[in-house]
Amino acid sequence: MSELDIFTVNDNFVLLKNRPIGRNIIVSAVGVVSVVIFFRYQISNGFTFLLSDRYDGIIEVSILEHWYNFYRGKSLWYQTNYFYPVVGTLAYNDGYFIYGLIYSLFRAARIDPFLSGELVSIAVRAIGFPAFYFACRRIIQLDWKWALLGAALFTINGSAFLASNHQQLLSISFAPLLFLLLHRWIRALMEGRNIGVLVWGGASVLLLAAYLMTAFYMAWYCIFFSSAMLIAWFAIGKPQRILRLVALVRQNSANVAFLLGLAVLVNLPFLSLYLPKAIETGMHSYSETLIYSPSLLDVIQFNFLFGHLQEVFNNYFRPGVPIYTERSTGVPPALLFLFTCSVIFIWSRPSSDANDQTIIRRTLVISTLATWAASLHFGSLSAWYLVYNFVPGAKALRVVARYQLFVATPVIAIAMIYLAAQEKRINAFLLAIVCTFLLVEEISFRTNGIALDRPHELARLSNVPSPPTECKAFFISAARPEKYLYSPTEDGIYSHNADAMLIAEIKNLPTVNGVSTFLPPGWNMTNPNDTSYTERVQAYAARYGVRNLCNLNLKTMIWTKSR
């Protein structure tokens, strides 16, 4: 019987789980189940209510629809149909490049914009599962069972679930894929395989460039963490290994130079788009980032299966803090405990026994602890001050607590190292309980982040009539007649502007409205109910020379020629 055989015993179909085909089926099945668990609410409600809400969710769909317009030749890649006529408006928010590519495939299949956006999130999460699994197998050489458990934990991660109303944060799925490609590139370099150096190095460069154009937070975190790993590896690696790597880089200088040139070339669009906007907006202040950096208490997150524990925890340690905030990005207690045990275990091995794999694991530990600690604040003190002032790109990050969503990746991998090492020392039944608890503690019952009413939004969108032919641009003169989503202040900022963005992309008609992380100079289009609103719109139009401007009343769904 061959390695790939499947056999029958007593007419019962049996798969040998330690045979490749059986293992692949198990891994695939667990991957599907993990993704289903993460999107269980949307699946169970028939995709009527989707991730996010009619603010952030519609903004994201608007950007994705922009890419669909670009691929159909209706838009320039850097120019959205909102914030008209300012140039390079894509740079006021994340670019969603990879998301837009996937989205356009669904839209080309005639799937509606909202469902297409949700399917993008599912596809992105599905990419993360095998990427994490193979990264654990190849980089830290975990047995397949522990790589599988790690991939499941990574995919159903409770903090990522809580933060998924900001769907660009699900791009953490690309991080293990990038690390896997980088590892293959380093291996090719160390083994002197020139073709491998070019192939894996080129793939790494292209993915990172696409990642930066998709979701800056997570892409920047990858660069930040990788830089820390390189510094840590040089710090603890044996001198001969370092000298060998330097020698190999010299020997492959032509290939390395080609990859550096490729990196510059493929990142020119990102740099040319975002650097001018960074200078224009000034990015975020340090005081703002400090507010959104995690405290030591934010390191632990009780997910909503144990939500009452999070409430008790908050009431005891920080009364008045809501059960969920932007800083609710921590690690569940059991996983954090195993991570701590693994850190001690990895460093307990004698230095004389440190082989290449031990060096990699220690490097991973140092990088995780150092960068994680740097993101924390202790009162008004934080090492992030140094990162903010001296690391390029750090000033573009507002919610520093999102780094904990990223750091969950190495935390899970490191925790799996400890479980793998203790597998033969722990009773199998007890080990099964531990693994089950690790999975269960990631489950969240919070559904507030799944609030985009797809049938309602599709109906509203279909009720928007075609604009008059003489209209070359438009603004929203009255917001939709619905109750406040959060508060009058937020509604006055988001409601009409988000709707304008999507209508502009769907109708392919520019709007002077819009809302984003950063805003164009002179933009002041909040609160359409204020008597000064029309004057502010007209002042903006005059400043930028907008002609043939129409307005759309979202209460009556009537277009009117304005000027």
Domain edges within the chain: 7-38, 49-93+450-561, 119-423
The predicted model gives 43-71 an average pLDDT of 96
The predicted model gives 377-390 an average pLDDT of 96
Is the dihedral angle over the CA atoms 479, 484, 485, 490 positive or is it negative? positive
pLDDT in tens, 252-264: 889 999 999 999 9
Q: What is the pLDDT of residue 563?
A: 59
- Burial call 125-163: b when 16+ CB within 10 Å, e when fewer: bbbbbbbbbbbbbebbebebbbbbbbbbbbbbbbbbbbb
Count the helix, strand and coil residues of the chain and give each as a percent rounded to the nearest 5. 65, 5, 30
pLDDT in tens, 80-126: 999 999 999 999 999 999 999 999 999 999 999 999 999 999 999 99
- pLDDT at position 9 over 50: no
Runs of H (alpha helix) within 18-142:
20-38, 40-44, 56-71, 97-108, 113-138
Q: What is the pLDDT of residue 241?
A: 74
CA 252 to chain centre: 34
Other CB atoms closer than 10 Å to residue 465's CB: what's the count?
A: 11
Residues in the chain: 563
- The DSSP H or E segment spanning 551 is strand 549-553
Contact 503, 74 (CB under 8 A): no
The predicted model gives 144-159 an average pLDDT of 97
Residue with tokens 């489950």: 443
The predicted model gives 333-340 an average pLDDT of 96
- pLDDT at position 247 over 80: yes
ω into 85 cis (within 30 of 0): yes
Residue type, 181: L
- pLDDT at position 352 over 80: no
Q: What is the pLDDT of residue 446?
A: 82
Q: What is the pLDDT of residue 15?
A: 44
- Of the CA atoms within 13 Å of residue 528, those in its CB half-sphere come to 22
Q: pTM for the complete prediction?
A: 0.93
Q: What percent of the chain clears pLDDT 70, i.e. is strictly above it?
A: 95
Q: What is the pLDDT of residue 354?
A: 60
Rounded distance between C-alpha atoms, residue 81 and residue 59, angstroms: 12
Q: How confident is the model at residue 11 (pLDDT cuts 50, 70, 90)?
A: very low
Q: What is the pLDDT of residue 310?
A: 84
Mean pLDDT, rounded, of the chain: 91
- Name the residue among 257, 279, 401, 278 with its Cα closest to residue 329: 401
pLDDT in tens, 271-298: 999 999 999 988 999 999 999 999 999 9
Q: How confident is the model at residue 220 (pLDDT cuts 50, 70, 90)?
A: very high
Q: What is the pLDDT of residue 18?
A: 52
Q: What percent of the chain clears pLDDT 90, i.e. is strictly above it?
A: 77
